Structure 1
Amino acid sequence: MEHSKKGRARRKNPSDPNVEGVRRATIMKRVHMARKRGERIPVTFDDKGQPEGKHGDELMSWIGVLAREHVPIWIQDWRSRDLDQVKDIIWKETVTSFTVDGSFRTACIKSCGEAARNFRHDLYKTFVEGFLKEESVWTRPQKVIDNYPNIEEEDWVKFVQYRTSSQFQQLSDRGSEIRTNNEYSSRGGRDGYRKLDQENFKKTGKYVKRDCLWLEQQMGLDGELKDAACQKASELVMEFNTQESQGTFESVGTSDVLSHALSRPEHKGRVRGQSKFVKPSQYFNLNRSSSKDLEVQSMRREIEELKALVRGLCASKDVAPSVDPNNVPTVDQHNSVKASCSAQGKQHGDSDPPTMAVDSQECKLYIIDEVQGGQVHVAFGRAWLESLPTETVHGIPLGEGNVRVSINVPKLKKAPLPIPTYEATTVEDAINGFVAWPKTLVELDTSMNKASRGPSHVADPESGKKNAKESLEKKPSTLGQSSMRQGNQIEVPISYTIMTFEMPVFLSYEDIYEFINLQEISANCILVYMRYLEELCRINGQADKFAFVSPTLISPGPIGLEDYGRRRN
C-alpha cells in the first residue's frame, strides 16, 4: 500500500505496477458483523466534539457507505426537504451501528451530504466525462453494476441527463471560477483537520492554535509551503503571534491571529482552520464558563454599560462626571460591545493623560447602499474625530480612515454596521456602545451640541449629576412633548413605490402624542412606518421580495382599488 499526495491509500494495478489503481469502495465488514450480533460500536468524542480513535474513523467511513447506498445519484440539492426520509434512514442506520447521541445528527447528515457529493463527482469523472460522445454513456457500465448494485438503470439515466445539462454546466463553471480565485490550497489529504488536530494533541497533550493548524494543512508532504500567498500568510501569522506574546495584539473572539493574517472575516456557523465538527461557540469558548464566571462577566458588562451611559449623558450635556469613569477598575478583556475601547484608567501617581482621543461631537452615521448606491442615514451618535489608528475597540485597532463612535439614537436598527464585530453586526446591537466607523461616512451635525471634551473637560460635578438624573427620569411622552409643540408638523417624503406618486406626509403634534401614549394611530403614522420598512428592505437587498401599498389606495371610497389600478396604468 502506498499513499498518494492526496493521502489516499491506493493499490497498484496488477497488470502494470507503475500505474496507480483506483481506491476501492469500503464495505465495512466489521460493522456488519457487529450488527448481526446485535452490538453497537462505541464511539468517543474529543473536547471539540470530533469523533476520535479507530472507532471514530470507522464511523466516518460508515457514513460514506450509507451515502453510496441510500442517497440517489441524481439529486441536485442535498438540502431539499424531499430528502428528509432518506436522511432519517441514514441517521437510523448510524445509531443502530454506533453509540452516538442525538447531538451528532446534524454533523452526521452534513458529512453524508459531502460524501454523496464526492461519490457523484467520482462517478462522473470515471464513467461519464470521457464518454460523452459515445452512446454507451447512457447505459450503466459493468463496473457500476458490479460495485454499486443499488444504482438502477433509471437512476443512471437521470444522473447523466443532469450532469450533461446546461444548468449543471453553469454551476460547474461557477465552482471552477471560485476554485481558481482561491488563494490557498489545502494539501492535508482526505483525513483533513480532524485527524491532524488529534495527532497533534496526542504528541503535545494540548490542542494547537488554529492558525498553526491551518498552516500545517497548507503544507506539502515535504513540509514546505508551495504557494506565495501561503508563505505571506505564514509570515503574518508569525508577526501577529509575536505581537500577541508582547501584549501589543489581543485576540478577541473571531478576531484572532488567523483572521488578521488572512484579512478575511470569519464565516458564520463554521471555524476556519478546524474540522466541520467544531462549532464557533465551542472553539471560541463562549459557552464553557462556570456559573460563577458568568456572574462575574455579567457584573463587568453592567459596569461597562453604566460607564458608557455616564459618558454619553455628560457628553450630551457638555459636563464632566463627578467621578471619572476611567478611574473605575477596568475589565481585563473587553468582550462586550458596550463601551469597549482602549482607554485605560488613570492610576494613582500617574501624570500622563489617557492616550485615547477625548474630543467628540454629535454626528449622523451613514452606510453605503450596495444595492442602489449612495449613502443611507442609519443612526445618530457621537464621533471622536481625533481617534488614533492604533486605538482599539473590542481589542481591534481602528485602522487608518476610521474613527471611534458611539451610537445613541438608531434610525434603522437592522441596518448592518460598516465594520461589524463578533457581537455587534447591526446598528441595534451597538446602541449605547462603541464601534469603529469609516470617517467618510460620519457627518458632523453642527446644529446640535458643540464638541465636548469628554472626561477631561472641567465643569461643575453637581451640575453634571443633576442633568444626568433629569435625563434618566424623563419618560418617552415627556421627551416627545418637549421636542415638538402644538401646531408644528414634521414632513416625511413617501416614495413612489408606496403611493404610486411622490408625495409628503405630515406628522402633527397629535400624531406624535397618540403614538407615544399607545393610542390609536393615524394613517399617516402607518405610512411613515411603511416607509421605514421599505427602506430597511432596500438596504438589506430584499426590495424585490416585499411590496408596500398605502392603506388609502386599497380602502373603500373614491381612492380605492379601481383608482389605484388607473394610477398604476
Structure 2
Amino acid sequence: MQFRACRESGDWQETRTAAQQRQRLNDTPHVLSRGGYALLEKKLKKSRAQTLGLESPDLVDAIPRYEMWKAARTKSDGQMTSQSAQIISQKIDELIEQETQGSFVGHGRDDILTTAIGRPEHPGRVRGVGGAIGLRDYFGPPQRSNESLSQEALRKMEQQMEERFNQRMGIMEQRFMEQLQQQQQIQRTLEEKLQSMQQQNMELPTQAPIGQRVSTKGSCSGVDHTDYTSQYELLVDEDPPRVVAIGRQLQGGETIHGVPLLPHHVRVMIDEVRDPHAQVPVPTSEIQFVGEALGTFIAWPKALIMPYFSPPKSTRPEKQPVRRPRVIREDDEMAEAEDDPLGKLLLKLHKLKR
C-alpha cells in the first residue's frame, strides 16, 4: 500500500512525466536490460573467448566503447533501433576503416564514437561504458597537446602575415596611383610645350635633310624638301623617357607607307641615330628598330617629340707658325757686303778690331 501510494503521488507523477519527455528526445534508444553495459560487456567477452578458444573471458582484451554502443542498439533481428542509430553505426564502420588505413587517428576524448555521433561527451557520464563513470575517470584529465598549440600559433602567424600583406599592398597601390598621376601630368606638360614650340617653329625657314631615302609607295613618294621643319629629339616611352634619334617632322599628309596616321602621330625623318637597337614606337614590316630608319621617315607619337637645340661649335685659334731666330754666318755677311760697299767697309773694320 505504501509503494502504491508513493507512485500515485503528485511528485512522482511529475518526475515520471519529465523522464518520459526526455526519453522521447532520445533518437538512438538502446535495448539493454537492468544489467546495463556491465552485463553486455560480460556477454561480449564470453562470446569472444569461445570464438578465440580462450579458457577464461578475463583473457579477452577490453571491448572498445564504440562496439558496446553498437551492440546496445542492435535488436535480435540484427537491425538497429532507429534510423539515427543506423547512420551513426555506418559512420563508426567508416572511421574504423580509415583508422586501419592511417587517415584517421583518435585523440583522447575525440575517439571513434564521439566523432561518429558528432557531439562531445556529457560531463557526468561516458557513453558506451557501464556504471556511473565520468570523463576524468575514463579519459583522464584533459591535456593540451603541443600540436594544438603549434596550430594555434600558426593561425595567429598567418593572420598577422595577411594583415601585413594587405597593409603593404595598400601602400604600394597608393604609391602607384601617385606615380601614375605624376606621369600623366608630365605628359600633359610635354604635349603643351610641344604644341607651343611647333606653333613657333612654323614661321622659321626650313632646311632640306641630307641623304633622303624616298619610298616607292604612293603615300611617301614625291615629298617636297621644303615640307620639313627644324630638327627634333625623338624619344621612346620608358621610365624615364630617353632620346634615341634626331630627326625632322614632315608637315602635311594623312598616310605613311599606305597606312593612315593616328590622330596623335606625325611623320618624321631620321637624320641621326643615337640608339640603333631601340625599337621604334610604331614598327612596320620593313622598320622595327631605329637603326633601320636612318634617312627615311616613319610615324612617331607627338608626345615623344621634343625640339632639338644643337650644341654650338667650339672655335679654336689657328696655329701660328713658329719663327726661328736667324743665324747669320760669315759667308752670308760677305755675300751681303758685296752688294753694299759701306757694309763691306764696316765689316773689315770689325775684323781689324778683333
Q: TM-score, normalised by structure 1?
A: 0.24
TM-score scaled by structure 2?
0.37
Larger radius of gyration between Structure 1 and Structure 2: 2
